[in-house]
Amino acid sequence: MEKNIIKNLKKNKKTNSSWLLMLFAALFAAVVANAFIAHDGGKDTVQVSGPVELTFSDVLRRASEIQTMNIRDDVATGKLSDGTKYRAVITYNPELLEKIASNGATVSIDTSKGWVDYLGTWVPIIMGLFFIWWIFRGLRGGAGGLSRSLIGQNPTKIMTGKPKTTFKDVAGIDSEKQELVEVVDFLRDKSKFAAVGARVPRGILLSGEPGTGKTLLARAIAGEANVPFFAASGSDFSGIIVGLGVAKIKEIFEMAKRNAPCLLFIDEIDAIGQKRSQTSFNDQDREQTLNQLLIEMDGFSNETGIIVIGATNRPDMLDPALLRPGRFDRQVQIDLPDMAGRKAILELHAKKIKMEKDVDLGELARGTTGLSGADLENLLNESALHAVRAGHKLVAHDDIEEARDKLLMGPRKIRKMRAEDIKLTAYHEAGHAFISTVYADVADPIHKATIIPRGRALGMVQHLPIDDKVSMSLAEIRANMRIAVAGRAAEEIFFGADKITTGAESDIAMATRLARRSITMAGLSDKVGLVAINQAQTFGARLPLENASEKTAEIVDREIKKWIDDAYADAVKILTKNRATVKKLAEELLARETLTGEEIMKIVSPKKSLTKARKKVAKK
């Protein structure tokens, strides 16, 4: 029945819109015609027998020859004494008219108005009055008036029936899915909750970084429960006319009530749910829309059978009234998938792609730390696209490697580099690679080293973690700092202090960031102690030394510099002692451009091709 109502509304809106369009088109054509005729000076009404065109100076010179003159606006028509008809554009001049009349000519001035003149005068007024009436009609009608006219172009997507998406299509967030099983059970069978007096959450807020699967999870809930699913975006409730957002909120909740029990999903809810300000009066429409949403979610009618699911990337921006129990009483944080989750997501999307049997999705999951579900799906799609470009019938390991490098570092760059720059880059990456093998038991195992330019990087050494890390030990931090500055150390050892380059810019930034967080937030420095000097803000924003005095700030700066200097000194010492091996690594990179972790280990330690960390991975 809901579909028929929507269909009839759309049909009526389409008919009304067509009628209004035709009316406005006719009025517009009439105005244009009036402007054209006025500009043409009524030429079409007087040019019947081809009168002679006279200039204003001709009229002045031949005033004695004029027999009749009829003036309308600035156009004069009539006959000369020899019977010739004329037409001229003149400027109103009483002395000229008096001179022509004194010669016996008949002069008349036509001040009457035709229907076109009246049309040009009244059409703009009528159109303005009609628009004002249309607006006030909508405002008086509220959701039944304004929403039926302005919301005729409503972008809200309405779905009835069972969405195709289910929990089987959602992978990598099993704990989050478990939080929402109760909602599915309530939508399937409300009586068992009512029997024990339990109240199912009226609203669920899904928060997390982009691409983590918030929208997909909401659709899966509706699919599992087999209930109508109404979807809208926060921006759908914003408009240039005050009151439009309120009307849209009313309309979508009214439609949801008629289909209860159902799910109402509002994506990017922070667009209308931001905190209300006590000082700003520039966004009253958004605040009115928020107030209406608060009333609909927990107003006088509590038992509506509607479960509202909101999704946002910025839960910190939402108004506290929206987050209180009774509205969004359950908040589910969807984190980036861990290693097992990434593998499950890759296996889910890999079913749609034809791959070679030797493709190891587990290794790919280890090398994609920090990627969301959307990123992983995009990675496999890029792999398939690369396979097509390369002429492969199946997606191979090389296709996935190329896609991963492109996603993490950027597309491959074709640059004309000097031979000395390429050589320096090779030694720089060889320094990173060698120190990585030295600390293989502490740091993540090395995956590969390359001097192929990608993005802003001229080369890179990649590591694959054995498992997900939730924290780092002091030994790991110091090892990673030595690995970070090893590239600059290799440049100085093999080319001299005056030949070092800016290529270590990102390495130095990473080492500094690692040292600063360890000292100011993790309490890993003896000189600073267990004091939280820098409090991490949302999305990486950081206030510089907000809890420190100037003296403490100086101590922190000296401690950071000491940590980096010690790491650099250790890297120089290790590389100098193993100069021949590092040189061999660099020469191999120059010859082959890319070395795998296995190949690097064979060069560094010919007797053993796997580190202890690699053996652990192989056993898994």
- Partnered with residue 460 across adjacent β-strands are 450
Amino acid identity at 80: L
Beta-strand pair 446-450/594-596: antiparallel
Is residue 484 within 8 Å of residue 461, measured between CB atoms? no
Residue 595 exposure: Cα atoms within 13 Å on the Cβ side: 25
SS3 308: strand
| Structure tokens belonging to residue 431 | 């320094």
Residue keyed to tokens 């080369």: 459
Residue 573 exposure: Cα atoms within 13 Å on the Cβ side: 7
Catalytic residue among 401, 402, 429, 492: 429
CA distance 155 to 588: 58
Characterize 378-389 residue by residue with b for buried, 16 or more Cβ atoms within 10 angstroms of its Cβ, and e for exposed. bbbebbbebbee
Is residue 318 within 8 Å of residue 274, measured between CB atoms? yes
Query: CA angle 561-565-566, nearest 5°?
Result: 120
Q: Which residues contact 183 (CB under 8 A, 6 or more apart)?
A: 200, 201, 204, 221, 225, 307
| Structure tokens belonging to residue 110 | 């036509």
CB-CB neighbours of 245 under 10 Å: 24
Backbone angles phi and psi of 135, in degrees to 5 = -65, -50
Beta-strand pair 306-312/203-208: parallel
- Partnered with residue 106 across adjacent β-strands are 68
Radius of gyration (Cα) for the chain, nearest Å? 39
Length of the chain, please? 620
| Structure tokens belonging to residue 249 | 């909120």
Residue 606: is the preceding peptide bond cis (ω within 30°)? no
Q: How far is CA 484 from the centre of its chain?
A: 33
Report which of 42, 99, 48 is spatially closest to residue 71, judged by C-alpha positions.
Answer: 42
CA distance 563 to 56: 94
CA distance 5 to 253: 15
Is residue 460 within 8 Å of residue 504, measured between CB atoms? no
CA distance 56 to 171: 86
Q: How far is CA 589 from the centre of its chain?
A: 39
429 catalytic residue (yes or no):
yes
CA distance 345 to 337: 9
Is residue 578 within 8 Å of residue 571, measured between CB atoms? no
What amino acid positions are annotated as catalytic residues? 429
